[in-house]
Chain A
Amino acid sequence: MYHKKRLPDKKGHFGDFGGRFVPETLIYALDELEKEYLGAKKDKGFRRELSCYLEEYAGRPTPLYQASRLSKYLGIRKVYLKREDLLHTGAHKVNNTLGQVILARRMGKKRVIAETGAGQHGVATATVAALFGMQCDIYMGEEDIRRQELNVLRMKLLGARVIAVKSGTKTLKDAMTEALRDWVTNVRSTYYIIGTVAGPHPYPAMVRDFQSVIGIETKRQVLRKEKRLPDYLVACVGGGSNAMGLFHPFFKDERVKMIGVEAAGLGLSSGKHSASLVAGSAGVLHGCKSDVLEDRSGQINNAHSIAAGLDYPGVGPEHAYYKEIGRAFYTAVCDKEAMEAFRLLSRIEGIIPALESAHAIAYLMKPGRKINKKSIVVVCLSGRGDKDLHESYC
């Protein structure tokens, strides 16, 4: 057994990581949110409403698909894909935004804001804001707006305002900083829907819980098909929400190995990557202590990845904790490898994966992969790749 205590603790710590590193002005909002969330978790009405939306609106449960041609190509006994790409809006992000928007409504908030990188979380937020009739502002880096034009158009069509962030690297990191500034300013009227398992407590735990539906379904589905648990779970890690959603329900199943795949960008030695766990160090960014990319004097470094959704110099604190206690293994694949996987899955399975999810597939293609041939592997296919066609042909 890893631990009997539930994590995070009362202050939001996962071992040395997590916590609340935010300006005083936001503390009351986080307290208020935590209270509301803990109440909602116990409330049957809330759970019923959320699962109703997840099933009838978003399309859950998603299939667990046995990718036979891929398995054969890879020389692995069985590879299953958890098809989050089939979910409404095209990625796992809507699992979380549905949960949070219902909380926002319970709290009487009329406006929601969000940060977005690839635009998937922005679209998922704009979608639920439209569904619940709320005002919605999305912060997105200028560089990402260029890379993910299609998602920008979707958000606008859904009635959201997309605010271009021109500071810093003009990507996800700066979008999140800007969203936090908005929240500090409009904290009384606005609900901030964070899209990943990072940020100040209670976000990492709350987003994990909302995304855990991925792992809970996977467990049920794989037990039905195989009468046993899988040997490996593989998922890409940017902020880490799809990976944590898959991993967390298996935490105590010690025989199930977990592999988180970060973005090595142009290569770990190039310095142009997003591998906070593999190549970063402990630090504090956007409200929590975790692993970050930083220089020796504590300035946050720029991240790089071909996948906008992984292009972030931090990671959820629970992943840093999993790494520290050895519960999960973290590795990284580079842009080129991810592109190969993107093409491979399209060609042999007829599934165009998001470039983010392609990182998970790419790890299975690596010659040195730490995966036994005779094993059963579940890969989280966190999103679909329609949004990436433009980038992949440039």
Chain B
Amino acid sequence: MNRIVKKFAELKKKKKKAFIAFITAGYPSLAVTGKLVLEFEKKGVDLIELGVPFSDPLADGPVIQEASLYSLKKKTTLAKIIALVKDLRRVTDLPICLMSYYNPVFCMGEKQFVERASAAGVDGVIIPDLPFEEAEGFANYAGRKGLVNIYFLSPTSSPERIRTISRRARGFIYYVSLTGVTGGRKNLSSDLKNNLSRIKSATSVPVCAGFGISSASQLRQVQRMCDGGIVGSAIVSKIRENISRRDLVKRTGDFVERFNV
């Protein structure tokens, strides 16, 4: 069984909500990324999203833009990130998704990507600029190889789209909690609760919300409204803050732990 599907089934049994952590792979290096994944597992993270850096990350705010650029300067590539997951699979069964803009995947070739990623032990793929109209062929092929394609819904998705995507979704649905780019906000969007309950009533697939969640209390609020919350920029900021410290991994791990109390 796919590790994401399995994880959500377990959480449901325990009546718990998912805590999903995003980090930019290769920031500050792939070796550190590997250590962070293992540290996060210890601190109670349920699922890891590894961000594949891209030169033109149009859905990302300044924090992840900067981390992506840094990682690219270190010559991080999609192929190397897949190799990292393969290494990690020897020591962990934590569900891992790759979050990549479409062009690196397209350049590797959709089929080639799916085969290499699933063989390495990647469980899901999240492509913010591949809406479902363009994703069908890819999602079907990925599904056959045991890799789930995670679909997005947003505050502007029409009821008809919510129905269609809910039917196609596997693993979980990524709800973009606000109209905007990634990055922390002071307050959660006021229509979040209504929108999430609308989506929850249309699907049996778990729904997790991301974008703009930067504190433990915001995460808890979100988790009460759906099946899990995704924290990204806040963690990447913490990495940046400690980037030259030797205990970067521990400090970031401690920060992540605070989300999970």
Contact = CB atoms under 8 A, between A and B. Distances in A.
Interface of A: 11, 19-29, 31, 167-168, 173-174, 177, 180-181, 184-188, 282-287, 289, 292, 294, 296-300
B213 interface: no
A174 B65 CA distance: 12
Interface in B91-122: 101-108
Given A283-B106, A284-B106, A23 B59 contact: yes
Given A28-B158, A181-B58, 17 more contacts: A22-B131, A23-B58, A23-B154, A24-B128, A24-B154, A25-B156, A25-B180, A28-B161, A167-B65, A168-B55, A168-B56, A185-B179, A294-B107, A298-B78, A298-B104, A298-B106, A300-B55
A26 B155 CA distance: 10
B183 to A, nearest CB: 10
Contact of A284 (B77, B129, B153, B176): B129
Given A25-B179, A28-B158, A167-B65, A299 B131 contact: no
Given A177-B56, A286-B56, A298 B103 contact: yes
B129 A287 contact: yes
Interface of B: 54-59, 61, 65, 69, 72, 77-79, 101-108, 128-131, 133-134, 151-158, 161, 176, 179-181
B103 A27 contact: no
Contact of B107 (A25, A31, A298): A298
Given A180-B58, A284-B106, A297-B104, A21 B156 contact: no
B67 to A, nearest CB: 13
A168 B58 CA distance: 12
Contacts of B153: 24
Given A21-B129, A22-B131, A284 B103 contact: yes
A11 B133 contact: yes
A285 B154 contact: no
Nearest to B59: A23
A27 B179 contact: no
A188 B155 CA distance: 11
B152 A23 contact: yes
Nearest to B102: A284
B129 to A, nearest CB: 5
Given A21-B102, A29-B156, A184-B179, A283 B107 contact: yes
A71 to B, nearest CB: 43
Contacts of B65: 167
Contacts of B57: 177
Contacts of A27: 131, 156-157, 161
